[in-house]
Structure 1
């Protein structure tokens, strides 16, 4: 029996932790991650590569390797179309198969590797429709054609017979979106769906997702490292670093008044046209790299890269996730001092 869930939420992740078994022992990848998403809302997961964003999304979809290769703990509460709340973390695999691609779907990072190169586009989209809706092949292909129209692909009937290599990167990404939307999911997880696309196609994909969300009311979990995209599409933001949430809040207060030094660093790394106009085009960078999960530093995992780190404190204890303001959480020992200086 799933735990109680806020009636306004469609997805409620609580204390999610994921670790992997390796030759060097158990390696934690995600630590105590909690968040909720409401219908029609977009939550952006932000962070550098290796911060735990994709592992979090794969865990929600139950696509991490099975035990003992991987360990998943915590709750993933999901409200289905029937109004029943289920904990996806405890469902048997056959039960999860009925949910995955049907009520909760995912757009993967690389459409060229996610699409099967030896099957036609139409058959790949129709497969999910036939599996979940139990219709015949022609009805599934008709639905696939509707979806290609929905995502803005010209000559949809002709494209049903195309193979992935016949399409451009932008078209393949639209096909991936069509596949994810095939069964009208309540939650769509988009894992960096615009990373490999040029800025024009990227803008088209973002606009398409917003239009589809307004039309269907689905919730979106949007994973990205691009804060420009976050400002464009998100309602709320969750910043991750080394597998932990380090800041979470509404998109406007978090981007205007970040409290975590890591979030400050990400924002300073974004190119700004107004600075370039005044000859200040040099970008700041966060020194160092995301830590190796097998050799995580003691204390705050960001302290070796942080200009505000306090020896004897930041390098000894992991800060808790505190509520700095209403719906604005931050994980930093020194956020109060940093906020007063920034003010």
Structure 2
């Protein structure tokens, strides 16, 4: 069953000079029980797409799409109240900067308790405060926080960023959502805790059937923990498909460059040999190239690249390039 189905998502920013198209006609599909990766450089629009899904972008951002459906319901056609009801029930998000996403005026215990929905409680109303506290302790233990007493009465600004990240994850999984969006969930965590987190997410996926959208700029992290992958560059979708297929045979020059830049995927690379890197840097929103946005940096660019390529398909492998690396079969 398809949970999230987005076609030609466009996100534009309202400025004094006019609208700037930060995300350009991106397609994204997530099925029930699927772990999909969304990867790209910083500034490629990954977090914007995530925030558009959960509906937290402010009014300066204009969102349009040919299709934006959740479990068959078109969210863009619903009222704001109906959208919030569906999203609040079925979708949770782990934000990139957890300490800024939490209430600075409320202690951690209060925020954790509020994140536990009534549907998860079994006690009568007079026993619910105790049950909520018990569940809050269990949530902290699940994400690797053992000394819950030292955390409960603290405020977000009093805690390290890594601890706030764990608390944010605990709050996200409290309502057992159908879709969990993890935006750079391991940024402030040490390596052992990162491994623990991914094992936790994998267990929710396998045991509860939870779908996960894993967002990161680290290709190796996404590749190890996802079944399918979407690659963004500067707000455009350049490639999508099964993770193993894309890593084995990338069709877009940008995806190929990402793979070549990761030592883990280059076993034959000699010691001290420099990694592959595309020339130049990602453009700013105010100076976006016309057509294919990779054009100025692409080693295979030709005059046809001034036109925006359409999303093409090779079996279940999607790519957006006038001159794919392997060619069409």
Tell me the TM-score normalized by structure 1.
0.86
Q: Give the CA deviation at 1:273.
A: 8.7
Does residue 327 in structure 1 map to residue 319 in structure 2? no
Q: How does 1:1-343 map to 2 (within 5 A)?
A: 8-66=1-59, 69-74=60-65, 75-79=67-71, 85-129=72-116, 137-156=129-148, 159-165=151-157, 167-272=159-264, 278-310=270-302, 312-314=303-305, 316-323=306-313, 325-335=314-324, 338-339=325-326
Q: C-alpha deviations, 1:232-287, integer Å up to 9, x for none?
A: 11110000112111000100010111110001111121134975983244222221
Classify the secondary structure of the residue corresponding to 2:301. coil
CA distance in 1: counterparts of 2:280 and 2:79, whole angstroms: 42
Q: Is the 8 A contact 2:263 2:269 kept in 1?
A: no
The question of whether the paired residues in 2 share the 8 Å contact of 1:60 and 1:88 is answered with: no
> Structure 1 residues 287-296 or 246-255, which shifts more?
287-296
CA contact (8 A) 1:62 1:89 kept: no
**Contact 1:102–1:132 at 8 Å: present in 2 too?**
no
SS at match of 2:2: coil
SS of match in other structure, 1:298? coil
Higher mean displacement: 247-256 or 27-36: 27-36
**SS of 1:245 mapped into structure 2:** strand
- Separation in 1 of the partners of 2:28 and 2:269? 39
CA contact (8 A) 1:130 1:140 kept: no
Tell me which stretches of 4 or more aligned residues in structure 1 moved more than 6 Å.
Answer: 131-135
* TM-superposed deviation, 1:11: 1.4
8 Å Cα contact 1:14-1:32 kept in structure 2 = yes
Shift of 1:133: 7.1
Q: Secondary structure at the match of 1:172?
A: helix
Give the gaps of 5 or more residues in structure 2: none
Which whole-Å CA distance do the structure 2 matches of 1:261 and 1:147 have between them? 43
Query: How many residue pairs were aligned?
Result: 322
Residue pair 1:101, 1:180 contacting (<8 A) in 2 also: no
Residues 275, 281 of structure 1: 8 Å contact kept: no
Contact persistence 1:106–1:191 (CA under 8 A): yes
The farther-off stretch of 99-108 and 114-123 is 114-123
- Aligned residues of 1:102 and 1:184 also touching (Cα < 8 A): no
**Residues of 1 paired with 2:119 and 2:87: CA distance?**
10
Return the TM-score normalized by structure 2: 0.89
Q: CA RMSD in A?
A: 2.5
Task: Show CA shifts across 1:96-141 (max 9, x none).
Answer: 3323343101000022222334422111121233588797654433
Does structure 2 retain, via aligned residues, the 8 Å contact 1:108–1:192?
yes
- Where 1:153 maps in the other structure, the secondary structure is coil
